[in-house]
Chain A
Amino acid sequence: MSIGFFDRRSTVAAPNFNRFCVPPAAIAVHLAIGQVYAFSTFNIPLTRLIGLNEAAPGDWNQKQVVWIFSIAIAVLGSSAALFGRWVERVGPRLSMFVAALCFAGGFMVAAIGIRLHALWLLYAGYGVLGGCGLGIGYISPVSTLIKWFPDRPGMATGMAIMGFGGGALIAAPLSVMLMAHFKSVTSNGVLQAFVTMGAIYFLYMMIGVFAVRVPPPEWKPAGWVDSAKPKSLVTTAHVAVKLAWRTPQFWLLWGVLCMNVTAGIGVLGVASPMIQEIFTGRVTAASAAGFVGLISLFNMGGRFFWASISDYIGRRATYMVFFLLGILLYSTVPSIGYGGHIGMFVAAFCIILSMYGGGFATIPAYLRDVFGTMEVGAIHGRLLTAWSVAGVLGPVLISNLRDYQIEHGQPKAQAYSVTMYVMCGMLLIGFLCNLAMRPVDAKYHHRSP
């Protein structure tokens, strides 16, 4: 019986295969789906589909349009949780292909929605269908990378997840260029940009589909022997996903990720107005855009840097650094703001955002340490629901606290101080969750039949 191209068995690597061919396959998928972080570049053009240069009667408003992104992020987390076991079963090639179909299909359905001026098609297309592509694509290479790099799991998954951060850096200027290229007297170019991006991202993700390989069973890097010295949180056993989520360790790590992401995502959402309001008259809108760009770079770089560091100092120690350094930085930011030290303010947020990215990139290796490699991709998928919660919690918290402060007479420049202290509290909860981590009870370990 012949084995199909998408069958897991046809992706088993040949003996002379170079394992460093796998990270680019994973990065290709993550660079594509990372576009979601740059979706805001379409927000204003989508509110001017009729009026073109300015909003006209019948055009959608900002509040309606921002829901497209929110739905996509919520579906990302839920689809990663829902399809995690399927991804583990069918392997990376088929799951990457399905992710490409969903993500590119999301753009195409949304483009039809723009053509018909039907907002629900954008919610269903980019939000739901594209969101499924995001979730499946995000977890599809994780388990494979961990199996290829048992000696450096943090570095390997850090590279892929760095690609997700890098995707926004590519998509933001690409979207602007495409809309400018397709702009005409009858269109602001957003429809054509959607179709083009859907096609480009489909082809780009197919590179990952063709290039990805899984290691043969029991494969190990040449000359590598697992450390004989046992590490407190690193297990040699395996836990199935259906049991993993019933362990306290799963929920402690859920809390670790949720708190770390909430603290960072809230800042990302308001970075531009925040720096302009804290340093009124000294930071222009253009400079604030530069600040957003700079922290995005640190968000991306931190993913590779911190995940790689975690291979040496351990996962728990890495998150301890995130939480303790985060608390220190968040608690000093108000004083830095009052003192008018822009350079220190920018530096503090660059470090904070590097740890935000680092939190995403280090979690797959942490899960591998605690639950083993057997179904780590599926467990990772379920843990990503913490991201969905944080994606709502962070921005809502930071903007509501700011509004509350201003309503109660605080000047705009000082309206973020309480928010920073609340973020410290959230990081403290994350710190306590991380501190409570212990090895999984042996009763949850998988036993071969």
Chain B
Amino acid sequence: MKGRLALLWLIVGVPLAWGVFKTLQNAMKLFQ
């Protein structure tokens, strides 16, 4: 059950983290 829980959170967490990273990269232009 713990493996399934970790896998499910990874499946949603990784794309979300990528989206946040790309948006932060873009947001940095505001401070350049």
Number of B residues contacting the other chain (C-beta, 8 Å)? 23
B26 to chain A, nearest CB (A): 4
Contact B30 A291 (CB under 8 A): yes
Cα–Cα distance between A17 and B30 once the two chains are bound (Å): 45
Contact A290 B27 (CB under 8 A): yes
Contact B18 A25 (CB under 8 A): no
Interface of A is mostly: helix
- Given the contacts A16-B1, A21-B8, A166 and B20 also touching, CB distance less than 8 Å: yes
Contact A173 B12 (CB under 8 A): no
Contact A346 B15 (CB under 8 A): no
Q: Which residues of A contact B26 (CB under 8 A)?
A: 289-290, 293
Cα–Cα distance between A170 and B4 once the two chains are bound (Å): 24
- Which of A27, A28, A31, A290 contacts B30 (CB under 8 A)? A290
Interface presence of A24 (CB below 8 A): yes
A164 to chain B, nearest CB (A): 12
Contact A293 B24 (CB under 8 A): yes
Contact A20 B5 (CB under 8 A): yes
- Given the contacts A24-B8, A287-B32, A296-B23, A166 and B1 also touching, CB distance less than 8 Å: no
Residue-wise interface mask of A (251-284) relative to B, using a CB-CB cutoff of 8 A (1 in contact, 0 not): 0000000000000000000000000000000010
Contact A169 B23 (CB under 8 A): yes
Interface of B is mostly: helix
Please indicate which of the listed interface residues B9, B16, B20, B23 has the most CB atoms of chain A within 10 Å of its own CB: B23
Contact A170 B16 (CB under 8 A): yes
Interface presence of A207 (CB below 8 A): yes
Contact B8 A297 (CB under 8 A): no
Interface residues of B (CB under 8 A from A): 1-2, 4-5, 8-9, 11-12, 15-16, 18-20, 22-24, 26-32
Interface residues of A (CB under 8 A from B): 16-18, 20-21, 24-25, 27-28, 31, 163, 166, 168-173, 207, 211, 283, 286-291, 293-294, 296-297, 300, 346
Could you list 16 examples of A-B contacts with CB < 8 Å? A21-B5, A24-B12, A28-B11, A169-B19, A169-B23, A170-B16, A172-B22, A173-B19, A207-B8, A287-B32, A288-B30, A290-B26, A294-B23, A294-B30, A297-B20, A297-B23
> In the complex, given contacts A25-B8, A207-B8, A294-B30, what are 6 additional A-B residue pairs having Cβ atoms less than 8 angstroms apart?
A18-B5, A21-B4, A169-B19, A169-B23, A289-B29, A291-B30
